[in-house]
A = this chain, B = another copy of it.
Amino acid sequence: MLVRCLGARRVRQIQRAIRHSTVTFLCLFLTVVVLRGTIGAGKFGTPGQDFEEIRDHLYLRGRRVEPHRVLEEVQPDSESDQSNNYATFDISKILVDDEPDDQKPDPNKPYSLGPKISDWDQQRAEWLRNNPDFSNFTGPNKPRVLLVTGSSPKPCENPVGDHYLLKSIKNKIDYCRLHGIEVFYNMALLDAEMAGFWAKLPLIRKLLLSHPEIEFLWWMDSDAMFTDMAFEVPWDRYKDHNFVMHGWNEMVYDDKNWIGLNTGSFLLRNCQWSLDILDAWAPMGPKGKIRDDAGKILTRELKGRPVFEADDQSAMVYLLMKERYKWGDKVYLENAYYLHGYWGILVDRYEEMIENYHPGLGDHRWPLVTHFVGCKPCGKFGDYPVERCLRQMDRAYNFGDNQILQIYGFTHKSLASRRVKRMRNETSNPLEAKDELGLLHPAFKAVKKMTGI
Q: How far is the CA of A452 from the CA of B200 in the complex (A)?
A: 36
For residue A165, which residues in chain B have a CB less than 8 angstroms away from its CB? Answer: 162, 166
Query: Is A44 positioned at the interface, with any CB of B under 8 Å from its CB?
Result: no
State which residues 162-180 of A face B: CB under 8 Å. 162-163, 165-167, 169-170, 173-174, 177
Q: Are B1 and A259 in contact (CB under 8 A)?
A: yes
Tell me if B11 and A86 are in contact (CB < 8 A): no
A101 pairs with B419, CB closer than 8 A: yes
List A residues 300-319 near B (Cβ within 8 Å): 305-309, 311, 313-314
Residue of B nearest to A152 (CB): B418
Name the contact of A381 in the complex, choosing from B15, B101, B428, B429 (C-beta under 8 A). B15
B123 contacts A429, C-beta separation under 8 Å: yes
In the assembled complex, A436 has its CB within 8 A of some CB on chain B: no
A190 to B422, CA, bound (A): 8
Q: How large is the interface on A (under 10, 10 to 19, 20 to 34, 35 or more residues)?
A: 35 or more
With most chain B CB atoms within 10 A of its CB, the pick from A116, A173, A382 is A382
Q: Do the beta carbons of A441 and B131 come within 8 Å of each other? A: yes
Task: Please determine whether B91 and A419 come into contact, CB atoms closer than 8 angstroms.
Answer: no
Q: How far is the CA of A440 from the CA of B84 in the complex (A)?
A: 40
User: What is the chain B residue whose CB lies nearest that of A8?
Assistant: B308
Check B87 against A55 for contact (C-beta < 8 Å): yes
Q: Which of A181-210 contact B (CB under 8 A)?
A: 182-185, 187-190, 197, 206-207, 209-210
Is A384 close to B, CB under 8 A? yes
Question: With contacts A381-B15, A394-B94, A441-B213 known, is A27 near B47, CB below 8 A?
Answer: yes
Given A5-B305, A373-B2, A383-B4, A159–B431 Cβ distance below 8 Å? no
Q: Which of A385, A409, A447, A449 lies at the interface centre, i.e. has the most chain B CB atoms within 10 A of its CB? A: A449
- The verdict on A135 contacting chain B, using a C-beta distance below 8 Å, is yes
CB-defined A-B contacts under 8 Å, sample of 24: A3-B374, A4-B197, A5-B258, A6-B306, A7-B381, A8-B308, A9-B307, A26-B51, A59-B159, A60-B158, A60-B159, A83-B386, A86-B160, A86-B381, A89-B158, A89-B386, A116-B428, A133-B447, A166-B169, A174-B185, A187-B401, A188-B410, A189-B419, A207-B408
Whole-angstrom CA separation of A279 from B146 in the bound complex: 39
Which interface residue of A7, A38, A384, A385 has the most chain B CB atoms within 10 A?
A7
Question: Contacts A101-B419, A103-B421, A373-B3 known; A163 to B155 CB distance under 8 Å?
Answer: yes
A23 near B: Cβ within 8 Å?
yes
Asked whether, in the complex, the Cβ of A96 is within 8 Å of the Cβ of B417, the reply is yes
Say yes or no for A42: interface residue by CB 8 A criterion: no
Among listed A28-36, A67-75, A353-361, interface-contacting one: A28-36
Any B CB within 8 A of the CB of A391: yes
Interface-central residue, A374, A416, A427, by most chain B CB under 10 Å: A374
Partner of A1, one of B153, B311, B422, B452: B311
Whole-angstrom distance between the Cβ of A447 and the nearest chain B Cβ: 7
Query: Is A30 within 8 A of B55, CB to CB?
Result: no
Report B-chain residues with C-beta under 8 Å of the C-beta of A154.
Answer: 418
Q: Which residues of chain B are within 8 angstroms of A97 by Cβ–Cβ distance?
A: 413, 416-419
Specify which chain B residues have a CB less than 8 angstroms from the CB of A207 in the assembled complex: 408
A361–B381 alpha-carbon span in the complex (Å): 46
